[in-house]
Amino acid sequence: MTDTSIVGNWYNQNVTLEHDRLVKSRIEYSITMRVIKKCLEELATTSDDQIRILDIGGGTGRYAVELAKQGHSVTLSDISQSELDYAAQFASQNGVTLAKIVQVDARQVRDNELLFQHGFYDLVLCMGPMYHLLEESERVSLLESCALMTKPGGFVIAAFVTKYAHLRDLAQKDPKRLKDEREFYTQYFSTGKYTRNSNAIVSHHVDVGEVQGLFNKVQDRKVVDIVLEKLIGCEAFLGGGLAANMDLNDSETYEAWVEVLVRYSTDIHALGASDHIAAVARRINRNNT
């Protein structure tokens, strides 16, 4: 079982770093927000009520606050209390109030009375926890929890880090490690477990094909029906920091690039060029299947 106390401690100590990450990784944020927007547009056609969103592992509230600004009811949870405190301030600075802010280990959401309600949320985001759950059983259980909390017809969006992301980083910064740590990397290619960070935080990285398998295993448990609809490369073909020199202040050029990247973000042949993969899944009403 993953020792998530290590994960919580790291995020407690690196709040500002995490809050700024999606500014430095703006492409990831921009493409992910477009994915979320499409889901919300579809949900809006079937409901006149305020859309309810749960952001599990949402950290300092980058997504949660923006979605609240758009008028949605957003509940934010995270393992890091320090990040949640920052998120509350961030929401206040932006003139919005989050429906709830709850400190919880993502693996325990099903036991949390403040969060867990069957079929309550229109959209459940899980944009960080899958990065740090080392055991497949933990990842499957969390996806199942997300699906159970989603209304039939609602969406779950879960994010994953690819093995390619780490290997690109390794090739650029310290290529000899692949040879010098051959035994470790033999295991890494098999399991996706990355436990060599100097800060001791543990990570899990996926092969692209592994994501579909996780959703299949949720289905096999026969507790809730959820179908993976699509995979999106959150950096499209510009993973590995290839967009680092893009001038964010040149909005016309930036948006032109985002349009091109969105075009290729669902190309199955380009998914491996992304560092992050967003899986968009929908809960199906068992009575209609």
Angle at 14 between CA 10 and CA 20, to 5 degrees: 135
Nearest one of 54, 112, 104 to 84, comparing CA atoms: 104
Calpha distance 195→178 (Å, rounded): 15
| E runs forming strands in the chain | 52-56, 73-78, 100-103, 121-126, 150-162, 193-194, 203-206, 226-233, 276-283
Q: Whole-angstrom Cα distance, residue 24 to residue 175?
A: 24
Tens of pLDDT along the chain (289 residues) come to 888 888 999 999 999 999 999 888 899 999 999 999 999 999 998 777 899 999 999 999 999 999 999 999 999 999 999 999 999 999 999 999 999 999 999 999 999 999 999 999 999 999 999 999 999 999 999 999 999 999 999 999 999 999 999 999 999 999 999 999 999 999 999 999 998 875 668 899 999 999 999 999 999 999 999 999 999 999 999 999 998 888 888 999 999 999 999 999 999 998 999 999 999 999 997 654 3
CB 48 within 8 A of CB 264: no
DSSP 138: H
User: pTM of the predicted model, to two decimals?
Assistant: 0.95
Given a contact cutoff of 8 angstroms between Cβ atoms, the answer to whether 94 and 29 are in contact is: no
Helix axes of 251-264 and 26-44: crossing angle, nearest 10 degrees: 70
Exposure class string for 123-141: b at 16+ Cβ within 10 A, else e: bbbbbbbbbbbbeeebbbb
Contact 142, 127 (CB under 8 A): no
What CATH topology corresponds to 4-162+205-288? Rossmann fold (3.40.50)
Q: Do residues 230 and 268 lie in contact, with contact meaning Cβ atoms separated by under 8 Å?
A: no
> Would you kindly state where each structural domain of the chain is located, as residue ranges?
4-162+205-288
Q: Give the chain's count of helices (H) and strands (E).
A: 11, 9
Nearest to 102 by CA among 46, 140, 64: 64
Q: What residues contact residue 182 under an 8 Å CB cut-off, 6+ apart? A: none
